[in-house]
Amino acid sequence: MGRKCFISFKTEDIYYKEQIQKMDIDMIDKSLNEPIDSEDEDYIMRKIREEYLSDSTVTIHLIGKKSAENLGWEEQKYTKRELQASLYNGKGNTRNGILGVVLPSVYNDIFQGKKMCSICEEPHEINIVNINDSTTIKEFSYNYYIPNDKCSHSEDDRYCVLVKWDDFCQDPEKYIEKAFEKRSHPIADKVKVYPK
C-alpha cells in the first residue's frame, strides 16, 4: 500500500531527493517540488503544512553535511519546522512516521562501529550511532534517542527510524513501512515536537 511521503531535505541534497522520486516505490509523493514564491516565512510554512504535510503519513528526512542543529536556527528553520509539523499530532494533522536516511557523505560521522557496554552488569556490544546536535536537528535526534533509564536503545525505544542511503535504495518500501508503523507504536506517546 503506497504511503503518502514528504521528503524533507537541504538544498545541497536535492540530488538524493530526485533519486528517491525516480525510484520505483509504491508511495504517493507529497514533496514540495517548486519553491513557494514568498518572502514570508510563516506563510511558506503554513502552505507546506496545509498542502503537503497535513495528509502525508511518513516524512523522509535526508541527513547530510548541512543537517546539524549546531549550524543554527537560520540555517535549519525550514527543516526544523517541517519535522515539527510532521511530529505534531492534533487537530487537522496526524503525526507522521519519521524516516532518517543518512547520506553517504556522513556515514563515518554517524556510524562509528561497536563497543562493549560499560554500564550494565551483563556486558554486551552496542552500536555507536552518533545522532546528536553535530549531525542532525534536535527534532530528529531527540525522537531517535528518546530519554530512558536503560543503558542502550532498542528499536522499541525509538520513534524515528534510521537507515543508510545504500540500504534504503535496496528496499525503500521496507523502511517507509517501518516508519509508518511507529505512528501506532507505544513509543509514539513519548514523542516531543519541540525538544529543548
pLDDT of residue 166 exceeding 80, the answer is yes
Rounded to an integer, what distance in angstroms lies between the CA atom of residue 75 and that of residue 10?
Answer: 9
Q: Which stretch of 63-72, 125-134, 181-190 has the lowest confidence by average pLDDT? A: 125-134
pLDDT value of position 123: 67
In this predicted structure, the answer to whether residue 158 has a pLDDT above a threshold of 90 is yes
Q: Has this prediction a pTM greater than 0.75?
A: yes
Max intra-chain CA distance, the chain: 58
Residue pair 97/58 in contact (Cβ under 8 Å)? The answer is yes
Q: How far apart are CA 116 and CA 151, in angstroms?
A: 11
Strand partners, 109: none
Q: How far apart are CA 20 and CA 94, in angstroms?
A: 24
The better pLDDT of the pair 125, 184 is held by 184
In a domain, 163, yes or no: yes
Residue 121 reports pLDDT greater than 70: no
Expressed as residue numbers, the domain containing 123 is: 3-190
- Inside any domain, residue 73: yes
Residue 113 pLDDT more than 70? yes
Any domain includes 195:
no
Give domain status of residue 55, yes or no.
Answer: yes
Beta-carbon neighbour count of residue 21 at 10 Å?
14
The x, y and z cell numbers of residue 155, run together, are 528499536
* Cα-based distances in Å from 93 to 13, 14, 84, 149, 171: 27, 26, 11, 31, 28
The reply to whether 196 falls in a domain is: no
Is 25 inside a domain boundary?
Answer: yes
Asked if 160 and 138 touch (Cβ cutoff 8 Å), the reply is no
Confidence band, pLDDT 50/70/90 cuts, at residue 1: low
Q: What's the mean pLDDT in 95-122?
A: 90
Amino acid identity at 79: T
- How many domains does the structure of the chain reveal? 1
Residue keyed to cell 553535511: 65
pLDDT single digits (tens) 122-148: 667 778 899 999 999 999 999 999 999
Query: Which residues in 113-136 are b (16+ Cβ under 10 Å) and which e?
Result: eeeeeeeeeeeeebeebebbeebb
